[in-house]
Amino acid sequence: MKINFAIATNKKFENLTVPVILTSLINNGIESDLIHVFSAGYEQYEYISTKYCHYHKLDHNSFEYSPLITIVERQLESEYWFLIHDTCQVGPRFKSIVYSIPESKPEKLALTVTPSMSIGSYRYDYLMTDEVKNKLLAIKNTDYSEKSMTDWKFWGVDAEDYILHKTAPPAQYYSPELLRPHGQDFVVVDYNNWYGTNVTRRTEYFRSMDLYKNKSNWVLKKPEEYIRDL
């Protein structure tokens, strides 16, 4: 089974975040030829093949949906795509969990039953259905003004898991036996900033996927506060 890994990043932060997640994925058994970095915020699309990954400069910035939009727009085929944020790291169990696709080959497998930040596996032919493809292309953002970016970021707060949980059919889950009874599948392990900047971040560990997320936005904020530095 071919599973490609789509890292969602952007022009502003990629130099800080991408080396961290690339190292984590490769050190934990993910082949570099299966890793695609989708960097949002450029004026023109460009594809570059590197030693460590496939690198896509994107002509739009649609936040965590940027990779999925580009995948359907450019028909980047793979049996599944695993979408992950650039502010993640993974552990040694991650690869075996991602490849534990049920025989039924569901359309989607989510990180957790709680809001999943769109992190999870998406079957390519599901993404390419007219309904899903059109929903993704409808949120492609090419307006980089502060107002547009803030509006779209705030839209994404209510629309979290827009395709993963909020588009039919319901997503299945990885390692459901590890989930807590009320759906919370993470623990906060520290408040370290992996990138050496002054922004307060907290690290959430998702046990069912052996995945860490270094998060700056974990409480509801004003719209303008969602556009911030690392």
Residues of the chain with pLDDT under 50: 223, 226-230
SS3 56: strand
Q: What is the CATH number of the domain that holds 52?
A: 3.90.550
The sign of the dihedral angle between the CA atoms of 169, 210, 54, 226 is: positive
Q: Establish if 37 belongs to a structural domain.
A: yes
Q: Establish if 33 belongs to a structural domain.
A: yes
At residue 217, the pLDDT reads: 76
Q: Give me the number of domains the chain comprises.
A: 1
Q: Establish if 213 belongs to a structural domain.
A: no
C-alpha to C-alpha distances, 134 to 8, 126, 130, 228, nearest whole angstrom: 20, 12, 6, 29
Closest by CA to 204, choosing from 84, 63, 65, 88, is: 88
At residue 178, the pLDDT reads: 67
At residue 174, the pLDDT reads: 87
Is 0.85 surpassed by the pTM of this model? yes
Task: Report strand pairing: 80-85 vs 186-190.
Answer: unpaired
Per the CB < 8 A criterion, the answer to whether 126 and 108 are in contact is yes
Q: Establish if 166 belongs to a structural domain.
A: yes
Q: Establish if 80 belongs to a structural domain.
A: yes
CA 226 centroid distance within chain: 17
Q: For the CA atoms of 34, 9, 151, 186, what is the dihedral angle to 10 degrees?
A: 80
SS3 119: coil
Q: Establish if 51 belongs to a structural domain.
A: yes
At residue 208, the pLDDT reads: 87
Q: Establish if 118 belongs to a structural domain.
A: yes
SS3 89: strand
Q: Establish if 206 belongs to a structural domain.
A: no
Domain that holds residue 11: 3-183
Q: Which residue is listed with tokens 């649609």?
A: 62
For residue 201, with 0-12 CB atoms within 10 Å meaning exposed, 13-18 middle and 19 or more buried, which class applies?
A: buried
At residue 193, the pLDDT reads: 96
As a residue count, the chain comes to 230
